[in-house]
Amino acid sequence: MPKSATREQRTSTPRVAWLLGPALVAGVAYLDPGNVASNMTAGARYGYLLVWVVVVGNVMAWLIQYLSAKLGIVTGQSLPETLGRRLRNPWARRAYWLQAELVAMATDIAEVIGGAVALWLLFGVPLLWGGMATGAVSIALLLIQSRRGARSFEFVVIGLVAIIAFGFTYGVFIGPPDPAGVVGGLLPRFEGTDSVLLAASILGATIMPHAIYAHSALSRDRFAPVLLEAIDDADAATLEDRRGIATTRLLRATRWDVTIAMVIAGTVNLCILLLAAANLAGVPGTDSLEGAYAALQAGLGPAVATLFAVGLLASGLASTSVGAYAGAEIMHGLLRVRVPLLARRLVTLIPALAILALGFDPTLALILSQVVLSFGIPFALVPLVRLTADAGVLGSHRNRPLTTAAGIVASVLLIALNGLLLWLVLASG
């Protein structure tokens, strides 16, 4: 068999299992401490009322993450890189970078604080030292990514995702929810202004701008070698055909990757809400992570509470690493500057550590970080939908009209709900 045929047989149709991973890493953003706080509070305050919000948010997240991955695969560039090349005005590019950088730092605050709270709950580690430990572990994970490659980083993060999933779902089997309540929660409705605020908070914590930036970069890094190998040894006449076939197969595998990641993330988030709805509804003090931990310990026993804290710790460690990766990509793509990973990580840890050192309420800091994140959602969503619908950018792989319409609807809904969240928070403050 000719060499080119052998290579094509071996690489143009890589095993789907080997292609899974980027979405699972990006999906960690949907399992961060901000999500935990929002879903626990929703279940404790309103029972099963907002189950439908978690489901709707997960469906929208599937579409958005797939579009992000598709952009990275087809163009070979991340979303920040693509925008950095299209924004000709240097001041516009810097302004866009600044808001994206602030979003990444706000994400980091929530994740480092979540890890610090988990270490305090588990071992009594002071919050400041816990934040430092969380930052140190995230540095180690990022060094794995930079020195061992994307695949090794994926394995570590996927392992943490498994811990997160077990830690947050175990309690549902010990204190199971009411099936009728779960079914009733699928009916869209609200009960007053506070439930609207909480629904907007759930969606704001679900769709995070840094996950969009990160997924396009993760897909680029992982699949660029696959595409290069797929077109190796091809003559000019067949080059585009072979690249197109390889890209189509990668996109098909990516749909599976995103589906698996979103099913895991959606299930875990739903279990967090159901755990609170079934066991913490009406219990005072459960509007904070510490209060929820104490209530779980009193109601379901120390094993459930400990696993919850372990899941929170894994959530903080995994999500802060992905957030730092996204921040590095944002700087590189928009400013075309690469800062040493260690130096950048140390700088972005400062705000979170300062908050912990000043004794600021951790749960309130988590909530405020979600408000900051809501500012960045339009700047990530609108360009993503616009670029993936452009034949000049994606060619034959551009969105179908129905996909673009769905992306526009999701964008408008998310922007409107996050605008409502901001208005309600500012009005109540």
Residue 139 contacts residue 318 (beta carbons within 8 Å)? no
Q: What is the pLDDT of residues 24-70, one digit of tens each?
A: 888 888 888 878 888 888 898 899 999 999 999 899 989 999 999 99
> Can you tell me the distance from the alpha carbon of 384 to that of 82, in angstroms, rounded to the nearest whole number?
10
CA distances from 349 to 102, 170, 287 (A): 13, 31, 26
Question: What sign does the dihedral 10-12-13-15 (CA atoms) show?
Answer: positive
How much is the pLDDT for 4?
Answer: 41
Cα–Cα distance, 417 to 110 (Å, whole number): 20
Q: Give the pLDDT score at 118.
A: 92
Average pLDDT for 105-119: 86
Which of the given ranges, 22-26, 372-376, 396-400, has the highest pLDDT on average? 396-400
Find the mean pLDDT for residues 171-182.
93
pLDDT at 11 over 90: no
The string of pLDDT tens digits covering residues 337-366 is 877 767 777 777 888 889 888 888 887 777
Question: Please, are residues 276 and 54 in contact by the beta-carbon 8 Å criterion?
Answer: no
The reported pLDDT for the residue numbered 8 is: 40
* Rounded alpha-carbon distances, angstroms, from residue 275 to 262, 294, 298: 19, 14, 14
Q: What pLDDT score was predicted for residue 193?
A: 75
User: What is the C-alpha to C-alpha distance for residues 388 and 38, in angstroms, rounded to an integer?
Assistant: 31
State the CB neighbour count (10 A cutoff) for residue 133: 18
Using one digit for the tens of pLDDT, what is the confidence trace for 289-332? 788 888 888 888 999 999 999 999 998 888 887 887 888 888 88
Q: Cα(162)–Cα(43) distance, rounded to whole angstroms?
A: 23
For 212-258, how does the pLDDT look when each residue is reduced to its tens digit (9 = 90+)?
999 999 888 887 666 656 555 555 446 666 677 778 888 888 999 99
Record the pTM.
Answer: 0.86
- Which has the closest alpha carbon to 30: 110, 105, 136? 110
Q: What is the mean pLDDT of the chain?
A: 83
Q: Which CATH architecture has domain 3-428?
A: Up-down Bundle (1.20)
pLDDT bracket for residue 136 (50, 70, 90): confident
At 18, the pLDDT band (50, 70, 90 cuts) reads low
